[in-house]
């Protein structure tokens, strides 16, 4: 690629040297049982070959995966699986909360053996920036200085502090922990709010989701939507992912079963017509050296160019086949 083409690449022109917020796979898949963790890593490799890009992260779970009393053994297992994964795999780990006795053990064992193979560390039950700072120190003493933190917001107090947490430079993404958030209200929110439909109608839950998404977008971080526990209901899964994306501003979502991954990809992906429009407009903009243009009687400038570039980024992250005229931007 020539120097001129690099200089006029949409990412540089429209987002600047920092290239905006991180672009992550739109699905984050969790597993904590040995056989399922192995199968998740195998499935990631298969789907990476199928789509030509990694379309979901695999997060190996210590918090919910480790049996009580077996935390040390589980951490060693996770470290071994990370080391065994393909060099290009995107593998993360969810450790125990910072106030759990196993937190330091998780960090020392897993990062001590496999920090160079992790893409991030998921930190659950974060209540304040102090928790982030505590975890950051654990990263630094275990060869994890390069690793970003993903943070799980699970309480009303943490929602209140979401903007401060998202502002921390180590934080790359905020996730919403639906189940713990509901139970933290002492019965004031009904159990129906934990379902695929109720979580989009209860005002306190919707408010929390909006606060987290807004905090992420204010600081260039990635908002990641919560689980859908009805993992056998594909229609409910896809409907929830679509609402999270189109109504609440989420660009990533959790999966807890392999059957949920493809519905998330489909729901988070833009329509083929949107991709075609974005490619046409951006190519015309590049030809005009990013000056305003008219397309089908509509004026476009750098604000809309930025939107269409981010749409193409999302299409690429979901494994969509891009028009050949713009596919080279992602090579």
Q: Which residues pair with 99 in a beta bridge?
A: none
What are the tokens at 211?
């606060």
Among 161, 157, 158, 140, which residue's Cα sits nearest to residue 149?
A: 140
Determine the pLDDT at residue 232. 85
Instruction: Say how many CA atoms lie within 13 Å of 212 toward its Cβ.
Output: 35
CA–CA distance, 176 with 202 (Å, rounded to integer)? 15
Neighbouring C-beta atoms of residue 166, cutoff 10 Å = 26
Report pLDDT digits (tens) over 103-146.
999 999 999 999 999 999 999 999 999 999 999 999 999 988 89
Q: Which domains are delineated in the chain?
A: 27-268 (3.20.20.60), 271-329 (no CATH)
Query: In this structure, what DSSP letter does residue 24 have?
Result: -
Determine the pLDDT at residue 231. 84
Give CA separation, 181 vs 178, 188, 193, 211, in Å. Answer: 5, 11, 10, 13
Q: For the chain, what is the total number of helices (H) and then of strands (E)?
A: 16, 10
CA 49 to chain centre: 20
- Tell me which residues of the chain have a pLDDT lower than 70: 1-7, 16-21
Determine the pLDDT at residue 3. 45
Report pLDDT digits (tens) over 253-301.
999 999 999 999 999 999 999 999 999 999 999 999 999 999 999 999 9
What are the tokens at 80?
């071994």
CA–CA distance, 60 with 82 (Å, rounded to integer)? 9
Residue owning tokens 């949920």: 260
pTM for this entry: 0.91
CA–CA distance, 58 with 43 (Å, rounded to integer)? 10
């Amino acid at each position: 690629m020539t120097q001129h083409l690099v200089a006029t690449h949409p990412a540089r022109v429209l987002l600047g040297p920092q290239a905006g917020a991180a672009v992550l796979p739109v699905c984050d898949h969790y597993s904590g049982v040995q056989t399922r963790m192995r199968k998740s890593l195998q499935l990631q490799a298969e789907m990476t070959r199928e789509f030509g890009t990694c379309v979901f992260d695999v997060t190996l779970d210590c918090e919910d995966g480790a049996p009580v009393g077996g935390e040390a053994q589980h951490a060693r297992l996770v470290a071994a699986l990370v080391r065994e994964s393909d060099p290009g795999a995107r593998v993360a780990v969810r450790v125990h909360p910072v106030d759990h006795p196993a937190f330091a053990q998780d960090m020392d064992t897993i990062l001590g053996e496999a920090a160079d193979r992790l893409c991030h560390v998921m930190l659950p039950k974060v209540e304040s920036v102090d928790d982030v700072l505590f975890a950051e120190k654990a990263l630094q003493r275990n060869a994890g200085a390069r690793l970003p933190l993903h943070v799980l917001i699970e309480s009303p107090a943490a929602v209140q502090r979401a903007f401060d947490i998202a502002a921390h430079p180590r934080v790359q993404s905020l996730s919403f922990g639906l189940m713990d958030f509901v139970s933290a209200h002492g019965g004031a929110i009904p159990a129906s709010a934990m379902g695929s439909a109720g979580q989009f109608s209860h005002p306190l839950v919707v408010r929390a989701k909006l606060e987290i998404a807004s905090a992420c977008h204010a600081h260039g971080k990635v908002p990641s939507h919560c689980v859908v526990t009805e993992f056998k209901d594909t229609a409910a899964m896809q409907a929830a992912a679509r609402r999270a994306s189109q109504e609440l501003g989420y660009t990533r979502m959790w999966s807890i079963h392999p059957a949920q991954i493809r519905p998330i990809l489909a729901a988070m992906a833009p329509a083929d017509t949107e991709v075609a429009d974005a490619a046409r407009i951006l190519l015309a903009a590049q030809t005009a050296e990013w000056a305003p243009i008219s397309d089908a009687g509509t004026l476009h400038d750098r604000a809309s160019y930025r939107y269409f570039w981010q749409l193409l980024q999302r299409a690429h992250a979901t494994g969509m086949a891009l028009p050949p005229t713009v596919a080279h931007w992602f090579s």
